[in-house]
Chains A and B, each alone.
Chain A
Amino acid sequence: MYSFRSGWFNRIFLLIVLTCASLIIASRFGLTFIPPLVSTTLYGWALLLGAFALMLGIANTVRFHLVRVQRGQREWHLSLLLLIVFALVLGAGISSPGGTTGLLSEWIFDAVVAPGQATLYALTGIFLLSAAYHFLRIDRPGGLWILAGALLMLLVQTPFLYRILPDALVDLVDWLLSWPVMAAMRGVLLGGALAVLFISLRLFVNGAK
């Protein structure tokens, strides 16, 4: 937003953004002088922009990896593999009369996409284990509390311990979730919302100068 050579370009774009934001804010506050059609149209444009950004992202990815393959940069083989897989999946979707519900697309989803995503996500378990081993230590500052909280949650959420755990321990965890954790979560939500609001305002103010 700041990188255009002419300051007027920046100001015009900023004016458009501010106008759209003002209209949306006014409609969300229920101000009647804003016709519903205006906000609906703006929402529709946001949807179109989202779809356009998706296409742009795909084009950018393809271009980026094509350049890597052409120049033979480091690990260009992986870029080539990505492009081949991209072409295959795209071809499968386009060539099938059923589109994404075609036989080939469904097979690709079941045999490649679903197991691949599940495997990658399952790796986070390994990272979690490694991090817990290295960092959840009792001798760190505040480590006792963090360790006690983690162990409590793990113990209570483990099915094979349901029968042997005393009810008081389960009640303790529920109390923790309902009171201190809930209070912290609300604080985080409120603080996060305020932070987003102020950062947005700061961006506007910075851009206007």
Chain B
Amino acid sequence: METGSPLAAFDCPHCGYSNPAASQFCVHCGTNLARRQPPPAPAGESADEPNDLAAAQETAPPRPGVASEGRKPSAGSTDPGAPRTRPHGSSEAEEATGETGKEKPEPDAVRPGPSLGGLGGLLEPADPLAFIASDAGALDPTRDPSTALSGELTTDEEERRQLRQLFSEDLPLPVGARPATTSDTEETARNGNGLQRQFWLEMVLLLGMVGALLWGGQLPPGGAGPHPLPGLEQVHRQIDTLPPNSLVLVNWAYDPATAGEMDLVAKPLIEHLLQRQAKLIVFSQLPGGPATARRVIASAEESLQRPSRTQITANLVIEAGYLPGGAASLPLLGVAPARALPVDPGWVELRERFSIAALGETGPALSLVIAARAEDVRRWLEQVQPLNGGPVVAATSAVAGPAVRPYLHSGQLAGLVSGWDGGAVYVRRLDRARGAAEQGRSLRLASGQNWGVAILILALLLGNLAGLNQRRYR
């Protein structure tokens, strides 16, 4: 990508980043620049010529919302077409002018529809400067933003732009793009680097890492593959101490999208629960969750090598189905699970109804959250666990593991198994021999992961080699 001469630069009205003139979107913040470009040059003139474009920007009539967008607004500008801080609200109007190519529409025509206007207000990021402003009317939702902001583009606008630029400095840039030179960096170049905090922060982190390399080997061994897998022992202990026929509430928070990894984590735990003859009440907040749960539970029953799978299913597993409503419906599970669980009374047998009723009276002996995302565990710990007070253990993907660990350390989570290696370690703790097919499947999955990660490492190295090579020839 060619950055071109300074004249061809096109400042983003949202973040102030200097984009090439032909950019459709800002490479920094993604703002649509196409609608803000100056009008196309007349026939016979080249629109790609930087000087022509710059001249067009200078000489174009001040069409509101279009012509003056390419320039940074000056402090105190009262141009109604100057860039606004409300991309949501203004996009429809700009789209209308861009598509029809007509003159400025009437204010009524550019105003977004009622529903979209409300949505835009909800999605608009919080603006601390708006609270500081003494004008209370700035927060009045009944005011029309298109007219309200047009006359208030003063120094606040410039401050906001600088703030946005400050916070977006470290965003990744496309290959070949050069970061915009700001006045701050120019000033630093004149004055020298000084005592930069970043340098000392990096040195402290480096020393910490060297210390961990030197003395980390003296820590007690984890004994679970290469990682200690914190929380795994606690899960095993929690399930192992369950008396027979204990009620266990299982939140099945993954579907086939992540089943490749999650099945390996979930199955050993379900197996262990069935071994302990716990009574599982399984529900899901994902449409594909109940069907996924059925398959994993059936597979776990096969692994147990019991004579009658049907009998196990009938006695130990209650399929409570799909629970809609997301986080808002979870508290009902904490205070009145019998009311919350979406069991169809037409086909649920009488004894299962009694089980669910007992769940409401005594609460679950254990709650198990099997989740591919950390958010599902967090929701359970915030919305359900404080209300029923029961112990909660979680089985998560490897990605979600680090995000869930703080809850384990704080004691809100009674145990944690994460990642396929956590599942593999858990399988070894179960009191049964693994079949050849099961071992073969596990090996295939591990092999697939090997190849995937090896390719990723290779891509990282190649990308960096290519980048350094490109830099050398530049």
In the complex, which residues 287-326 of chain B have their Cβ closer than 8 Å to any Cβ of chain A? 288, 290-292, 294, 321, 323-326
- Cβ contact within 8 Å between B332 and A43: yes
- Cβ contact within 8 Å between B468 and A174: no
- Cβ contact within 8 Å between B256 and A114: yes
CB distance from B333 to the nearest CB of A (A): 9
**CB within 8 A of A139: which of B114, B208, B257, B467?**
B467
**CB within 8 A of B140: which of A114, A125, A185, A209?**
A209
- Cβ contact within 8 Å between A171 and B217: yes
CB distance from A46 to the nearest CB of B (A): 4
Q: Does B454 contact A (CB under 8 A)?
A: yes
Given contacts A43-B331, A135-B172, A160-B450, contact A113 B126 (CB under 8 A): no
**CB within 8 A of A50: which of B329, B450, B456?**
B329
**CB within 8 A of B126: which of A118, A157, A198?**
A198
- Cβ contact within 8 Å between B450 and A46: no
In the complex, which residues 35-75 of chain A have their Cβ closer than 8 Å to any Cβ of chain B? 36, 39-40, 43-44, 46-47, 49-51, 53-54
Q: Which residues of A contact B450 (CB under 8 A)?
A: 158-160
Q: Which residues of A contact B325 (CB under 8 A)?
A: 46-47, 49-51, 53
**CB within 8 A of A159: which of B217, B446, B468?**
B446
Q: Which residues of B contact A47 (CB under 8 A)?
A: 323-325, 328-329, 332, 340
Kindly supply a per-residue 1/0 record for chain A positions 92-107, scoring 1 wherever the CB is within 8 Å of any chain B CB and 0 otherwise: 0000000011000010
In the complex, which residues 357-389 of chain B have their Cβ closer than 8 Å to any Cβ of chain A? 378, 386
Q: Which residue of A is nearest B401, CB measured?
A: A177
Q: Which residues of A contact B290 (CB under 8 A)?
A: 100
A172 CA to B398 CA, complexed, in Å:
18
Query: How many A residues touch the partner, as a band?
Result: 35 or more
Q: Which residue of A is nearest B453, CB measured?
A: A158
Q: Does B213 contact A (CB under 8 A)?
A: yes
What is the predominant secondary structure among interface residues of chain A facing chain B?
helix
Q: Which residues of B contact A203 (CB under 8 A)?
A: 122
- Cβ contact within 8 Å between B216 and A175: yes
Tell me the total A-B contact number using a CB cutoff of 8 A.
Answer: 209
Q: Does B464 contact A (CB under 8 A)?
A: yes
**CB within 8 A of B209: which of A4, A118, A120, A176?**
A176
Kindly supply a per-residue 1/0 record for chain B positions 80-119, scoring 1 wherever the CB is within 8 Å of any chain A CB and 0 otherwise: 0000000000000000000000000000000000110110
Chain B residues with a Cβ closer than 8 Å to the other chain, count:
84
CB distance from A201 to the nearest CB of B (A): 10
CB distance from B211 to the nearest CB of A (A): 9
A82 CA to B50 CA, complexed, in Å:
46
A137 CA to B467 CA, complexed, in Å:
7
Given contacts A36-B335, A129-B459, A147-B460, contact A157 B324 (CB under 8 A): no
**CB within 8 A of A132: which of B170, B227, B456?**
B456
**CB within 8 A of A162: which of B217, B226, B260, B403?**
B226
Q: Which residue of A is nearest B455, CB measured?
A: A129
A134 CA to B460 CA, complexed, in Å:
9
CB distance from A204 to the nearest CB of B (A): 12
Q: Which residues of B contact A145 (CB under 8 A)?
A: 202, 205
Q: Which residues of A contact B449 (CB under 8 A)?
A: 158-159
Q: Which residues of B contact A51 (CB under 8 A)?
A: 324-325
In the complex, which residues 122-163 of chain A have their Cβ closer than 8 Å to any Cβ of chain B? 125, 128-129, 132-142, 145, 147, 150-151, 154-160, 162
CB distance from B328 to the nearest CB of A (A): 4
Q: Does B76 contact A (CB under 8 A)?
A: no
Given contacts A50-B324, A129-B459, contact A118 B386 (CB under 8 A): no
A150 CA to B254 CA, complexed, in Å:
26
A205 CA to B140 CA, complexed, in Å:
10
CB distance from B435 to the nearest CB of A (A): 21
Q: Which residues of A contact B205 (CB under 8 A)?
A: 145, 180
**CB within 8 A of A133: which of B126, B216, B463?**
B463
Q: Which residues of B contact A158 (CB under 8 A)?
A: 449-450, 453-454, 457
Given contacts A28-B386, A172-B209, contact A114 B226 (CB under 8 A): no
Q: Which residue of A is nearest B212, CB measured?
A: A175
Nearest 9 A-B pairs (CB), nearest first? A50-B325, A171-B216, A3-B114, A114-B256, A121-B257, A175-B212, A43-B332, A2-B141, A133-B463
**Interface residues of A, Cβ cutoff 8 Å to B:** 1-4, 7, 28, 36, 39-40, 43-44, 46-47, 49-51, 53-54, 100-101, 106, 109, 113-115, 117-118, 120-121, 125, 128-129, 132-142, 145, 147, 150-151, 154-160, 162, 165, 167-182, 185-186, 189, 198-199, 202-203, 205-207, 209
